[in-house]
Amino acid sequence: MIVSNWMQPDPITIASDLLLSEAKRILTENNLHALPVVDAGVLRGLVTRNDCLRVAQFVAATQNADEFSFFANRLRVRDVMVRRPATVQMTDTMEHVLEKGRELRIGQFPVMDGDDVVGIISANEIFNLAAHFLGAWERRSGITIGPLLHEPGIVGRIIDLVEEAGADVHAIYPIGCVEPHPPPGQRECKVIVRFHAPDFTAVSAALEAAGFHILESVQGQPQHATDQAVNG
């Protein structure tokens, strides 16, 4: 999973001397989270919807007509934009983006090809990624089992059990129990299984009979094949 396949390409960018009120309008009208600020082809900053809201809140709190007019007519993007924003390269992996966002606690990155802005990753794209992962629109049945030791062969064993119970396995992901970094030697995990099955209870019964502990189970309602676009 490479950033260039998941980003929103050709994002709307703005110049740093644009009025902030105008930037706010662009964000709202296009339902965007952030606008990269580009002057003469060089990324100079990032304006987020959050920044705009905060400014608007400060201005509103003054209840002062002159402050309103300053906001509407004089406050520029470069007064408010974050300088040297964190970015990712289009050749980075999505894992790298997720890790960086978690670490910095930010939700949007301009995507760079060298020094040029070629895309953006924001909450919209992260939702899209997660939705693809879980096949959100397929309404799959889901079971989470664990905690268990992540040993070689365990994933295959679970698949066999589920398929023998008559299910059609769509996805299986072991995830760590301890986030984000387990202590060394710690191999305990949970396993998430996504499938379509005519008889959901047969699947969970088979897993329990084999000694697995079920943490969550959700019965899905498969729909007919949807026309969702499939990405990367």
Partner 1 sequence: MSTTQPMVCWFEECTREMVPLVGGKCSSLGELINAGIRVPPGFAITTRGYYDFMEQAGIMDDLAGLVGSLKADDLKGLETASSEIRQRIEAASFSLQLEDEIAESYRRLSIRSFMPATAVAVRSSATAEDLPGASFAGQQDTYLWIRGIDAVLEHAKRCMSSLYTARAMAYRIRMGFDHREVGISVGVQKMANSFTAGVMFTLNPSNGDRSSIVIDANFGFGESVVSGEVTPDQFRINKVSLEILQRTVSEKTVCYTVDTKTQTSVASEIPEERRNIQSVTDDELIELARMGKQIEQHYGRPMDIEWAIDKDMPRSGNIFILQARPETVWSEKRSEPVSAKARGKTTMDFILSSMMEGKKVS
Q: How many residues does the chain have?
A: 232
Q: Which listed range, 82-90, 105-113, 140-148, 224-232, lies at the site for partner 1 (CB under 8 A)?
A: 82-90
What does the alpha-carbon distance between residue 100 and residue 219 come to, in Å, rounded to a whole number? 34
Q: Which listed range, 2-10, 73-81, 123-131, 157-165, lies at the site for partner 1 (CB under 8 A)?
A: 73-81
Which residues, numbered 172-231, are part of the site for partner 1 (CB under 8 A)?
A: none
- Looking at the chain, list the stretches that DSSP marks H as alpha helix, in order from N- to C-terminal side: 3-6, 20-30, 49-62, 65-73, 77-80, 94-104, 123-134, 154-164, 200-209
Pair 77, 16: CB distance under 8 Å: yes
Cβ 83 to partner 1 shortest distance, Å: 4
Binding residue for partner 1, selected from 55, 111, 121, 189, defined by CB under 8 A:
55
| Token pair 């019965």 in the structure block, residue | 219
Cβ 50 to partner 1 shortest distance, Å: 11
Cβ 79 to partner 1 shortest distance, Å: 4
Cβ 43 to partner 1 shortest distance, Å: 11
Does position 83 bind partner 1 by CB under 8 A? yes
| Token pair 């094949």 in the structure block, residue | 225
Amino acid at 226: T
User: Could you tell me which residues come within 8 angstroms of residue 108 by beta carbon, excluding any fewer than 6 positions away?
Assistant: 33, 34, 46, 48, 120, 121, 122, 123
Does position 84 bind partner 1 by CB under 8 A? yes
Cβ 56 to partner 1 shortest distance, Å: 9
Binding mask 19-48 for partner 1 (x = CB under 8 A): -x----------------------------
| Token pair 């070689």 in the structure block, residue | 152
Handedness of CA 23, 26, 27, 28 (dihedral sign): positive
Does position 59 bind partner 1 by CB under 8 A? yes
Closer of 68 and 133 to partner 1 (Cβ): 68
Binding residue for partner 1, selected from 50, 58, 99, 216, defined by CB under 8 A:
58
Bridge partners for 151 per DSSP: none
Cβ 46 to partner 1 shortest distance, Å: 12
